[in-house]
A and B are shown apart, each in its own frame.
Chain A
Amino acid sequence: MSQATSRSTLAAPAGDAGTARSGTRIRLTGVTKDYGGAIPAVDGVSLTIEPGEFMTLLGPSGSGKTTTLNLIAGFETLTAGSIAFDDADVGSLPPHRRNLGMLFQNYALFPHLTVAQNVAYPLRERRVPKAEIARRVRDVLDLVQLPGRDGDYPSQLSGGQQQRVALARAIVFDPNALLLDEPLGALDRNLRSTLQAEIHRIHREVGSTFVFVTHDQEEAMNLSDRIALFHNGRIEQVGTPEALYEAPETLFTARFLGDSNVFPVDAAATGSVAWEDRVWPVLPGSVSPRVAAGAPAALVVRPEHVRLAGSPDAVPSGASSVVASVRDVEYMGSYRTALLALGAAGLPGKARLEASDARLAPGDAVVAWWEAERQRMVAA
């Protein structure tokens, strides 16, 4: 307890405790991190995370999402660009002065401290009076539904319990924001969905800004207010889960979030699009703004929007259709999926089956069809 400097952590740039409660706005402007590789790990990322928002940085491994989180946390230094909390630039602040809670995949609990001591750690660093520490530790352990375990050591707890302790430790000091670095990655499926719901509930109750990193699209869809999809160090698209799923702008987004039937097409024509010998209508609202004339594009249809008919006569007029053969039928529990070979080229495709499609078997020739408003033209 000898440093005067540890006191200054309280006066973090985002200001008083009142703003911490309602969350902090995190603004990234042209954020770049270059390790000297072929491409920068993070390449000119600009993103504003609103106060109290649950923002997910989603992407495959190596896409720059974790590096971006580490830049926000201060574990990495910026090559270029700036990071501001509310209106204060924090780019040059060391991590211990950014007043951010953080959850790690391996929990990162201090093994030599008890649950209570772990949770009290940030409060002790901030010189909170003993009685108040005891009260806040008790309250936050109630909040994460882990009362009565305060004397246990982390090694005596299960993985899920450890992550609850880590969560309690990361929010007990009312941080500017909570950063979550794939916190559910080490847990099994059941525990994962329980804790996911828990994180969702705590986000609502605490009302703080959450920045969540994951490569799991389902997790991202379930939890987020908005998703920033990363690809090769850049943000491919930002938006609500619905926007990303229903109105992807690029083929990468369409493929990363959910399954898609992808027809490579030529974007030159307007009003219609040709694939093999088929010509399909294109509605203006279904074309991504990123589609440029002459550039490669793709027509994307989600499997749940594809219907199967026994013959061309059974396809409603005005619908887009293509001949297909059933390669296989997958049982998914609550529904079944037909794996298709589309058109003359046998392009791999998928359709979610209805109850009436029960008789379909591999090898059947069918006609796949969909309403034109269900399709989406994206940049490839």
Chain B
Amino acid sequence: MAQTPSGSGTDTTTLAAGARGARRRARSVDPIPWWLVAIVVVVALYFMLPTLFVIPMSFSSASTFQFPPKGLSLQLYVNFFTDPVWLRSLGNSFLVAILAALLATVVGTAAALGLHSLTGRWARLARTLLMVSIVTPGIVLAVAIYITFLQWRLVGTPLGYVLAHAAIGVPFVLVSVTTALGGFDPKLLRASASLGATPLRTFLRVTMPLIGRGIVTGAIFAFVTSFDEVVIALFLRSPLFQTLPVQMYNSVTVEIDPTIAASSSLVVVAVTAVFLIPQLVGGRKRTRRS
């Protein structure tokens, strides 16, 4: 699959990026009114405020919750990274989130591709069914999954977590891949076939590069959804296997352990990093223009 960029390829890439930059500047010549800026600042603060509390608290030297934090230490991080219970739940969360995101991405992408070429009542029905978990209250979903998984003996197993979290991740992938397919010319599939590529090769060499951003975006949403999912995880937990959000919940309700501040900060940083990846990668890549 390795593409072989020719010598002049890099020149044209920068050239194209330059042209895009110029267009972006030209587009933003309209002055932005001050009240719009004010609204943006208020909304941004509203979303970020909890984070602004929790991160300073994680560097506190006190053994209870305090704000503003008294003293400055890495004690809570030491607690987190030396306690096998915290570490194991962090590892479990990563394991579940990665596998669930992977599964959701494959299923969601396949569903988006299939539904893209279909029209009519049955396609709409299938699309709605796949989106149902996004509007179902989490607790209803959790109870349903719990009852089903009891029968299937999946409660408390990693497989159970992966399946449940993949199911709630699929809609995100479906939406982002469907959006990406909106700008995709289906004639390219015929062109590729006429040039001798099998459907699988066509997917790898044409479809995937062109809708790759949609797939990656969907995968990230699926990962994050799983990583901080707590309601279903509470039902599925077992003494042998629990995820980080469940351990965080335990630490507050059972032990009142301030280590949660450190773990919360870590989750914030991890999730933010994951969201920034496509921005950094995508910034260098050419996107399709027609």
Taking Cβ atoms with an 8 Å cutoff, the residues of A that contact B are: 1, 3, 5-6, 9, 73-75, 94-102, 104, 106, 108-114, 116-117, 121-122, 125-126, 130, 150-153, 155-156, 169-170, 173, 179
Residue of B nearest to A75 (CB): B190
Quick one: which of A5, A114, A122, A150 contacts B195, CB cutoff 8 A? A122
Contact with A along B34-55 (1 / 0, CB 8 A): 0000000000000000000000
B1 within 8 A of A: yes
B286 within 8 A of A: yes
**CB within 8 Å of A: which of B177-200?**
185, 187-188, 190-200
When chains A and B are docked, how far (Å) is the Cα of A74 from the Cα of B201? 17
When chains A and B are docked, how far (Å) is the Cα of A113 from the Cα of B16? 13
B279 within 8 A of A: no
**Is A5 in contact with B198, judged by CB distance below 8 angstroms?**
yes
**Is B12 in contact with A114, judged by CB distance below 8 angstroms?**
yes
25 contacts between A and B (CB under 8 A): A6-B198, A95-B193, A96-B198, A102-B191, A108-B185, A109-B191, A111-B288, A111-B289, A112-B209, A114-B5, A114-B6, A117-B3, A117-B4, A117-B6, A122-B195, A122-B196, A125-B197, A125-B201, A126-B196, A151-B6, A155-B16, A155-B290, A156-B12, A169-B195, A179-B194
Smallest CB separation, B102 vs chain A (Å): 19
Total A-B residue pairs with C-beta atoms closer than 8 Å?
A: 104
**Is B194 in contact with A73, judged by CB distance below 8 angstroms?**
yes
When chains A and B are docked, how far (Å) is the Cα of A74 from the Cα of B193? 9
Residue of A nearest to B190 (CB): A75
A112-B210 contact given A125-B201, A155-B290, CB 8 Å threshold = yes
**Is B201 in contact with A111, judged by CB distance below 8 angstroms?**
no
Which of A99, A101, A111, A117 is packed against the most chain B CB atoms within 10 Å?
Answer: A111
B114 within 8 A of A: no
A153-B195 contact given A108-B188, A112-B210, A116-B6, CB 8 Å threshold = no
When chains A and B are docked, how far (Å) is the Cα of A155 from the Cα of B20? 12
**Is A6 in contact with B185, judged by CB distance below 8 angstroms?**
no
**CB within 8 Å of A: which of B200-214?**
200-202, 205-206, 209-210
When chains A and B are docked, how far (Å) is the Cα of A278 from the Cα of B184? 62
Residue of A nearest to B12 (CB): A151
Quick one: which of A94, A153, A179 contacts B16, CB cutoff 8 A? A153
Taking Cβ atoms with an 8 Å cutoff, the residues of B that contact A are: 1, 3-9, 11-12, 16, 185, 187-188, 190-202, 205-206, 209-210, 286, 288-290
Top 9 nearest A-B pairs by Cβ distance?
A: A151-B8, A122-B195, A108-B191, A102-B194, A95-B193, A9-B196, A125-B196, A108-B187, A111-B288
Residue of B nearest to A10 (CB): B196
Residue of B nearest to A130 (CB): B4
Contacts of B289 on A, CB cut-off 8 Å?
111, 155
**Is B12 in contact with A1, judged by CB distance below 8 angstroms?**
no
**Is B290 in contact with A3, judged by CB distance below 8 angstroms?**
no
Smallest CB separation, B76 vs chain A (Å): 46
Contacts of B200 on A, CB cut-off 8 Å?
3
Besides A96-B196, A112-B209, 14 other A-B contacts (C-beta < 8 A):
A3-B198, A5-B198, A9-B196, A95-B190, A99-B196, A101-B194, A102-B191, A106-B187, A112-B286, A112-B288, A121-B197, A151-B6, A153-B12, A153-B286
Smallest CB separation, B268 vs chain A (Å): 34
Smallest CB separation, A110 vs chain B (Å): 6
Smallest CB separation, A15 vs chain B (Å): 16
When chains A and B are docked, how far (Å) is the Cα of A156 from the Cα of B17? 12
Contacts of B198 on A, CB cut-off 8 Å?
3, 5-6, 96
**Is B190 in contact with A108, judged by CB distance below 8 angstroms?**
yes
